[in-house]
Amino acid sequence: MDRFSPISPDGRQALFASAQDGDSEIFIMDSDGSHQRQLTYNEAWDGQPVWSEDGRQIYFASDLEGAIAFYAITDGAGVVKLLDACS
């Protein structure tokens, strides 16, 4: 099942999480549905992607380290852990 987030602040792209291959990953696509591209590649659950206000970062939740934490992707610079979720 694919889950979509709001359109980017400039209206040109959308984020979604999809479990097409068995585990949920984060994807980006143009707002018309074209040019889908996978952003995360791991065996963990990745979901709930949202844009930063300026559209330069993508925030998402993941259980990459065994517990839910929040991460950011910045213009292809890779994934950066922001904080652990409260238990």
| Angle, CA of 49, 38 and 81, to the nearest 5° | 50
For residue 38, the Cα-to-chain-centroid distance in whole angstroms is 9
pLDDT in tens, 27-86: 999 999 999 999 999 999 999 999 999 999 999 999 998 899 999 998 767 888 898 876
Query: For position 86, what pLDDT does the model report?
Result: 65
Per-residue pLDDT for 3 more than 90?
no
Residue 66 per-residue DSSP state: S
Query: For position 87, what pLDDT does the model report?
Result: 54
Listing from the earlier edge strand, what are the strands of the sheet with 57-62? 46-51, 57-62, 69-74, 79-84
